[in-house]
Chain A
Amino acid sequence: MATTTATCTLSSPDILSQAISVSSTMTLIKDNTAATGLEQLNYHRALIPTGTQFDLIPESAALNTNPANYVYIINKNTDVTDYAVISIKDEVIGSLYGGDWMFIPWSNSVTETEDAQSGQGNDTSIEITATTHDCVIEYALFHSGETLLTADDA
């Protein structure tokens, strides 16, 4: 059973009159349990052309059934004015400019009135639109379920 940890540190020399540094570490765990063991990892690098909204991480029944999914996305462009818009269910979350990253727990069961972990909400994907220039995007999806497609010639 794989054990993966994520640590987020926020620091600033001047956001307050004194320098600050806050750090938090978490272990990625399975759905509705304290057990580690998210044994599946997708790491992806893609060139996102401008102008079209794409499914970056498509929803699937397996991901919905096992909704303990963790997503890391980074815009690898070096120009900090290049950005890509991240959305879920056509609702814009925010923009990743060159060098920006995000880390979220993701459920593709996304009805506000439903518990995000219930699996009863609307299925949806994480979508992306490169806006100013093509964007090189990398993402990691830590999860415990994946819908595998039977090969056409199986």
Chain B
Amino acid sequence: MATLIPTLTLTSTDATSDTLNFSVIDTLTTTAPNVNLSQIVVDTTGANNIIVAANDNKQTWVYIKHTGTTDGSTTTTAHCDVELTGNVAVGTLKPGEFCWFPFCGNGSSVGVQLQAVGSSVQMEYAYWSDSTGQ
């Protein structure tokens, strides 16, 4: 087992009249299976780009980032949908954006997939299983 420390900082000087600035830190104890940072060229068919397979209720933490490129060097404005394989899109990542969320599939044989919109994009992702999860 290993320790993973995710931190989120949200800042803005003008979203509110008082400065917005806070950080949250979590401490996770991880176990196999996990996939450290990887890259994938995502096409426009979600089923081709399953990054986390259905895992029968294993609590997993997922990090996904849009690299802003099609291949690591050619820039693109195409965005990429983050979806559960049960036909639910969580949201869309535009170039440079990231997300971090827990995933468990709830024993329903659902995984996580990516689907580029319009043209292929290169994405980064990683996931770690949480030993304290259900």
Contacts and interface: CB of A to CB of B under 8 A. Distances in A.
Interface of A: 1-16, 20, 22, 24, 26-27, 29, 38-39, 41, 67, 69, 72, 74, 80-81, 83, 85-86, 88-89, 91-97, 99-107, 109-117, 121, 140, 142
Given A8-B100, A94-B59, A95-B102, A14 B2 contact: yes
A12 B3 contact: yes
Contacts of A100: 26, 28, 102
Interface string B41-64: 000001000000000000110010
Given A8-B8, A67-B92, A89-B88, A104 B24 contact: no
B12 A117 contact: no
B128 to A, nearest CB: 7
Contacts of A114: 89
A contact face: mostly helix, strand, loop, or mixed: strand
B15 A15 contact: no
A29 B92 CA distance: 12
Chain B's interface size range is: 35 or more
Interface of B, secondary structure class, is strand
A92 B108 contact: yes
B11 A13 contact: no
A110 B88 contact: yes
Cβ-closest 10 pairs across A and B:
A94-B102, A92-B106, A105-B91, A112-B87, A116-B89, A4-B12, A2-B15, A15-B2, A102-B101, A116-B92
A26 B96 contact: yes
Interface string B94-119: 10111111111110101000010100
B122 interface: no
A13 B132 CA distance: 19
A91 B16 CA distance: 33
A105 B97 CA distance: 9
19 contacts: A5-B12, A10-B4, A12-B5, A13-B3, A15-B30, A26-B97, A67-B91, A92-B106, A93-B90, A94-B102, A97-B132, A99-B26, A100-B26, A105-B82, A107-B90, A110-B89, A111-B87, A112-B81, A112-B115
